[in-house]
């Protein structure tokens, strides 16, 4: 299996191609189905930037299997020993450094020659705003976020704003109060005025918020972020302990999984 590096747009979505070797499609004798487009979807929505796609998702192959093939083709060998820290043991500087170096070496090997990683976990619209909030609250926003960082964060935010002015849970989702409020506040903290932003992004976002019940309709997680330093958090129905107890009572401990943690507090 040979490796191909393509920067062309694929019919399966993804503007940056795939660095993973593309296997032959299954010989089932059936014709492949064209990509379905939901009814009522506008042409502009279809043309919105989408996450990069790889053959692992197009052909239903587990990413771990394809990644193994990719690393084998590159003759990758992990030369840094695995670090194990037992329960109650102190995490030393040496152990943390070794674990970090091991991870960097592994993910560096997975990087394509054109600089991108295929099948990345991207597109969620509620990751960056809390980081900006935390930096603002602690007084480090202008120290950590440089002018170029600010420019790129705002560019990404504008790029994935829906036509109605809101933001979805992910970059291909329908607008929802949670992500719309977070991204609106983020734009304001990064220096945009009430009517600022590309194509009146702030004004359009604010209109969507007001037309859909105002920011008071945001979910509990959003209320918590909006209330920091302004309102006692113990008065919020954050459900932290309930969520923790519910998931850890399950055998598979779903609280350790991203969706298991987030679902109750963003809906």
Task: Say if residue 109 is in the same domain as residue 2.
Answer: yes
CA distance 267 to 208: 18
CB count within 10 Å of CB 186 equals 21
Q: How confident is the model at residue 4 (pLDDT cuts 50, 70, 90)?
A: very low
The two three-digit tokens of residue 113, written as one number: 């020659």
Task: Say if residue 132 is in the same domain as residue 118.
Answer: no
Question: Is 27 among the domain residues?
Answer: yes
At 141-154, the pLDDT tens digits run 999 999 999 999 99
Task: Say if residue 2 is in the same domain as residue 40.
Answer: yes
Question: Is 265 among the domain residues?
Answer: no
Domain of 225?
A: 128-235
For the chain, what percent of residues have pLDDT higher than 70?
A: 61
Per the confidence metrics, is the pTM higher than 0.75? no
Q: How confident is the model at residue 37 (pLDDT cuts 50, 70, 90)?
A: very low
Question: Is 69 among the domain residues?
Answer: yes
At 211-266, the pLDDT tens digits run 999 999 998 888 888 888 777 766 766 555 555 555 555 555 555 555 544 554 55
- Report how many domains make up the chain: 2
Give first-to-last CA distance, the chain, whole Å: 44
Number of alpha carbons in the 13 Å side-chain half-sphere of residue 170: 9
Contact call for residues 160 and 167 (beta carbons, < 8 A)? yes
């Amino acid at each position: 299996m040979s490796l191909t590096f393509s920067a062309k747009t694929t019919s399966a979505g993804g503007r940056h191609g795939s660095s993973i070797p593309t296997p032959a499609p299954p010989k089932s004798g059936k014709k492949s189905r064209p990509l379905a487009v939901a009814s009522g979807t506008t042409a502009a929505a279809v043309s919105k930037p989408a996450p990069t796609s790889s053959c692992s998702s197009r052909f239903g192959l587990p990413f771990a299997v394809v990644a193994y093939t990719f690393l084998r083709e590159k003759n990758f060998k992990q030369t840094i020993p695995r670090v194990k820290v037992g329960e109650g043991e102190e995490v030393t500087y040496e152990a943390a450094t070794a674990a970090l170096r091991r991870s960097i070496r592994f993910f560096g090997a997975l990087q394509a020659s054109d600089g991108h990683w295929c099948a990345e976990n991207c597109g969620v619209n509620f990751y960056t705003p809390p980081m900006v909030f935390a930096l603002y609250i602690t007084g480090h926003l202008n120290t950590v976020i440089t002018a170029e960082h600010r420019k790129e964060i705002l560019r990404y935010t504008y790029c994935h704003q829906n036509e109605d002015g809101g933001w979805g849970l992910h970059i291909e989702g329908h607008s929802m109060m949670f992500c719309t409020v977070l991204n609106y506040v983020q734009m304001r903290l990064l220096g945009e005025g009430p009517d600022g932003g590309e194509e009146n992004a702030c004004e359009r976002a604010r209109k969507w918020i007001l037309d859909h019940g105002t920011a008071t309709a945001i979910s509990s997680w959003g209320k918590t972020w909006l209330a920091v330093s302004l309102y006692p958090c113990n008065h919020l129905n954050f459900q932290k302990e309930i969520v923790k107890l519910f998931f850890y009572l399950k055998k598979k401990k779903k609280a350790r999984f991203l969706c298991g943690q987030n679902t109750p507090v963003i809906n």
